Amino acid sequence: MIKLSISSAALLSLLPLATAQSGAWGQCGGIGWTGPTTCIAGYTCTYNNDWYSQCLPNGSSTTATSSSSAPLPTGTSTVGLAVAAKAAGKKYFGSATDNPELTDSSYTALLSNTKEFNQLTPGNSMKWDATEGTRGTFTFTKADEIVSLAQTNGQLIRGHTCVWHSQLPGWVTAGNFDASTLTSIIQTHTTNVVGHFKGKIWDVVNEPFNEDGTWRTSVFYNTLGSSFVSIALQAARAADPAAKLYVNDYNIDGTGAKSTAMVNLVKSLKASGAPIDGVGIQAHLIVGQVPSTIQANIAQFTALGVEVAITELDIRMTLPVTTALLEQQKKDYQTVIAACKAVSGCIGVTIWDYTDKYSWVPSVFQGQGAALPWDDRLVKKPAYDGIVAGFA
Ligand code: 9MR
């Protein structure tokens, strides 16, 4: 048996290379296609629609995002999202990622393609529970894995995040610390984390506000009032003067009470001399519901003398995926990207992972998903073309 397969492989290798094979994700068929119709090892030429067949990893499902047998539209642009972002004068287009996904070689290959992504954000491995689960003991193994992947690829890193009410170990939340002890706990944490990963952009403080613009109650706010923000920013600046320091939140995508609270925070930080370089607009959005004020909103932040980044973009829909929803999602991505493009102080965009395969959405919003520009087979969706059009 073994002998047979070795000799057939040897025989195959002697065949002329006239029939070149398509590479990973390459086109391998469709009306008018004159290129190769077979794929490199590990990939299968998979029918997508009459005009397009693509080399997908062996075993990929062809119907994963479709509830009907009618083929859904796909993205067709080949520009590269980071290429498009840079052509529009932005620093980066990036993706969040997480350690468990990095064992998926098809996923990692596309994540490492700097034409698509020249920036990565670790989705979980820099958070407090991952880096200082025990007081004073710092663990950077997982975060280092992502940072070194980015470094190997030549990609920027957004550090995420130093001070957040969530994914916070019990020793912090339940420690009953007085104000001066908690201040030093924040300083030690921020100093060690920002100091370990020098030269990054940082979401130093994450999600400080409630929807109505009041301060969110957390161990930090309850013990220190709003001063916890400047305590963290100052520690970050001292640990790495070259780092860019942001405050990041969701539902501050359009103008409104929560966005106004962020404006007021930036004003007061600047007035007091606290180091603040940017506002992170997460942009976890819903198809058909992108705020019409998104560009004006970005501009109101940059007018304060800070930069803006869209830090966690995804645009979810109620499943099942339909052609109409995909087309609306494409428009919505274009709207968000065009708003960032239009404001020069909006420096870059990060999507909260790039494929529906690893999106956080379905596990949190029941019946919703398909929020990202690549589907769960890593096939481009119309949203991809929307992003390219937004940067154009
Ligand atoms: O993507 C992250 C997911 O894997 C975690 O389970 C979740 C836990 O809170 O956090 C997700 O990332 C969040 C980010 O850190 C802050 N903004 C909202 C993101 C989605 O929940």
- With respect to residue 300, please indicate whether it lies within any of the assigned structural domains: yes
* Angle, CA of 345, 231 and 259, to the nearest 5°: 40
| Cβ neighbourhood burial of 14 (10 Å; 0-12, 13-18, 19+) | exposed
Verify whether ligand 1 is closer than 6 Å to residue 100 (CB atom): no
363 domain-assigned: yes
Span from the CA of 123 to the centroid of ligand 1 (angstroms): 7
Q: Distance from the CA of 106 to the center of ligand 1, in angstroms?
A: 23
At 129, which helix (H) or strand (E)?
Answer: helix 128-131
Q: Does the beta carbon of 312 sit less than 6 angstroms from any atom of ligand 1?
A: yes
Which pLDDT score is estimated for 34?
Answer: 80
Ligand 1 lined by 167 (C-beta under 6 Å): yes
50: in domain: no
Could you tell me the CATH number of the domain that includes residue 220? 3.20.20.80
Q: Is residue 229 part of a domain?
A: yes
When divided into structural domains, the chain yields a total of 1
Pocket mutation for ligand 1, best pick of 124, 161, 168 (most atoms within 8 Å of C-beta): 124
| Ligand 1 atom with minimal separation from the 98 CA | 4
What pLDDT sits at residue 40? 87
Is 261 within the bounds of a domain?
yes
Would the CB of 282 count as within 6 Å of ligand 1?
A: yes
Structural domain containing residue 134: 69-391
Compute, in angstroms, the gap from residue 128 CA to the centroid of ligand 1. 13
This model's pTM is above 0.75? yes
The full DSSP string for 300-364 is HHHTTT-EEEEEEEEEEEESSB-HHHHHHHHHHHHHHHHHHHHSTTEEEEEES-SBGGG-SHHHH
Residue 140 lies in a domain: yes
Two structure tokens written together for 390 = 């937004």
Is residue 268 in a domain? yes
Cα(339) to ligand 1 centroid in Å equals 24
Active site residue 116: no
**What is the pLDDT at residue 36?**
87
pLDDT at 26: 73
Let me know: does 313 contact 349? Beta carbons within 8 Å. yes
Kindly state if the Cβ of 124 falls inside 6 Å of ligand 1. Answer: yes
Say what the pLDDT of residue 8 is: 35
Q: Indicate if ligand 1 lies below 6 Å from the C-beta of 353.
A: no
Q: What is the mean pLDDT of each run of 10 residues along the chain (392 residues)?
A: 34 40 76 82 74 68 46 97 98 98 98 98 98 98 98 98 98 98 98 98 98 98 98 98 98 98 98 98 98 98 98 98 98 99 98 98 97 98 98 98
Alpha carbon of 40 to ligand 1 centroid (Å): 36
- Most distant CA pair in the chain, distance: 77
- Residue 28 counted as domain residue: no
